Copies of this chain bind each other. A is one copy, B any other.
Amino acid sequence: MLLKDLAKVAGVSLSTVSRALHGDPRISEPTRQRIQAIADREHFVLSKSASALASRKSFRITALFVDHFNTWFTSTSLEGLYSVIETSDYDLFPLALHTPEELDRYFRSLSKNNNTDGIIISSIHLSKKHTEQLAASHIPVVGLDSYGTQGYDAAIILNNERSMTIAAQTIKRLGHTTIGFVHYPQPGLFRDYSYSERIPQFESICKAQGYTSQSFEHFTSEDGRADKAGVESIITRWESSQVQPSVLFVETDDFAITLLSALREHGFRVPEDVSVVGFDDNPVSQLIGLATFRQNALENAHYAAHTMLDLLQTSSAKHCAGSYHAANAPDDELFHEDETAFIQRRTLAKAKGAAKAKGVTKAKTRNKH
């Protein structure tokens, strides 16, 4: 059943059916209802390809990730984006890019590419070049967990600085004098993702609070693996470390949970032997008592999707975007800051001897079983 068949049944022209189905106000209400009733009865569905081609839109919103879909953040974001976008005329099209080269190629092809009406980009750092390519494409771009506002028409940005300030203060108050930073090995060979901003920020805030370089140690998994083998290599390094930090600050809960579990398997008591702090407050963290920072991933995704739909409405006519571009309105209301909340749980405790000596003691005890 095609539009023309519907037109025949309804005894009107093809144009009228198309207009009625789209709620064009030029079609009288009785006519509209009559046509809609026939369409419903026949279970008629417009061809997306044909509609898209004729209207010079794609009716697709791309959700760009540089991660796997079965991680907490990505699956939660996808769920949030989908639940909003499914209510619109657009389809959500998830896209995963695995290497910086793939990302470059994607951005380079954008301006010639009529295959997406909007892009929601998650968690990556856009280069100067990417920013230019996005601007040239005139495609609305919304950032989710973005690293800065540059290149976005709208963005949800975590207030990492505030979080890191709270983290540094809390850790100091608990008497920790040595701190380990555990980097989450982002899959896909990306280096400048949004998480990576947190650790340098945290370090500089700690320094402002009187910690010295000797108090810090960075831990990255040997082979860039985010799984059990990855945390094993980190534990090995931590054990043989000079500093042997009494608290480990991990970039994401996913990785902190794996690390926590492995530490316990190795016979370390958490937090007696070492404290662990994560970031995200994913549901598992709550179950296992991981101290962490809560980000509102689901609501942030809702916000991103709604903002995208708004931009698409604004720029509707002929994708004559540019007018609402980030460069023109840098501190627009479209840039939303998510203030994460610190969640103190049992994996974070006072440093040993903190009560009496205030510092110096290192957590070196250890119970192998």
Expressed in whole angstroms, the Cα–Cα distance for A60 and B254 within the complex equals: 32
Contacting chain B: which of A49-57, A118-126, A308-316? A49-57
Partner of A69, one of B48, B78, B257: B78
- Return A94 CB to nearest CB of chain B, in Å: 7
Instruction: Please state if A257 and B96 are interface contacts (CB–CB under 8 Å).
Output: no
Q: Which of A34-90 contact B (CB under 8 A)?
A: 42-45, 47-50, 52-53, 58, 68-72, 74-76, 78-79, 82-83, 86
Partner of A112, one of B45, B86, B257: B45
Instruction: Please state if B70 and A78 are interface contacts (CB–CB under 8 Å).
Output: yes
Expressed in whole angstroms, the Cα–Cα distance for A79 and B68 within the complex equals: 6
Instruction: Please state if B53 and A47 are interface contacts (CB–CB under 8 Å).
Output: yes
Interface string of A8-20 (1 = CB under 8 A from B): 0000000000000
Expressed in whole angstroms, the Cα–Cα distance for A58 and B45 within the complex equals: 14
Residue A284 interfacial (CB < 8 Å): yes
Instruction: Please state if A69 and B58 are interface contacts (CB–CB under 8 Å).
Output: no
A72: B residues at CB distance < 8 A: 70
Interface size of A as a range: 35 or more
Partner of A47, one of B91, B111, B114: B114
Instruction: Please state if A79 and B69 are interface contacts (CB–CB under 8 Å).
Output: yes
Expressed in whole angstroms, the Cα–Cα distance for A68 and B86 within the complex equals: 13
- Return A221 CB to nearest CB of chain B, in Å: 17
A53: B residues at CB distance < 8 A: 47, 49-50, 53
Instruction: Please state if B82 and A76 are interface contacts (CB–CB under 8 Å).
Output: no
Residue A92 interfacial (CB < 8 Å): yes
Instruction: Please state if B93 and A93 are interface contacts (CB–CB under 8 Å).
Output: yes
- Return A55 CB to nearest CB of chain B, in Å: 9
Partner of A288, one of B50, B111, B115, B287: B287
Residue A1 interfacial (CB < 8 Å): yes
Residue A108 interfacial (CB < 8 Å): yes
Expressed in whole angstroms, the Cα–Cα distance for A49 and B284 within the complex equals: 42
Residue in chain B with minimal CB distance to A56: B49
A257: B residues at CB distance < 8 A: 287
Residue A113 interfacial (CB < 8 Å): yes
Residue A109 interfacial (CB < 8 Å): yes
Instruction: Please state if B79 and A49 are interface contacts (CB–CB under 8 Å).
Output: no
Q: Which of A230-259 contact B (CB under 8 A)?
A: 257-258
Instruction: Please state if A1 and B112 are interface contacts (CB–CB under 8 Å).
Output: yes
A298: B residues at CB distance < 8 A: 70
Instruction: Please state if A42 and B82 are interface contacts (CB–CB under 8 Å).
Output: no
Instruction: Please state if B113 and A45 are interface contacts (CB–CB under 8 Å).
Output: yes
Residue A212 interfacial (CB < 8 Å): no
Instruction: Please state if A82 and B96 are interface contacts (CB–CB under 8 Å).
Output: yes
Residue in chain B with minimal CB distance to A80: B70
- Return A106 CB to nearest CB of chain B, in Å: 10
Expressed in whole angstroms, the Cα–Cα distance for A83 and B72 within the complex equals: 18
Interface string of A96-113 (1 = CB under 8 A from B): 100000000100110111
Residue A213 interfacial (CB < 8 Å): no
A49: B residues at CB distance < 8 A: 48-50, 52-53, 58, 114-115
Residue A323 interfacial (CB < 8 Å): no
Expressed in whole angstroms, the Cα–Cα distance for A25 and B170 within the complex equals: 67
A91: B residues at CB distance < 8 A: 93
For the complex of A and B, list the 3 residue pairs with the smallest distance between their C-beta atoms, beginning with the closest. Answer: A75-B75, A49-B52, A69-B79
Sample of 5 further A-B pairs with CB below 8 A, known A70-B76, A261-B287: A43-B105, A47-B114, A49-B53, A49-B114, A284-B287
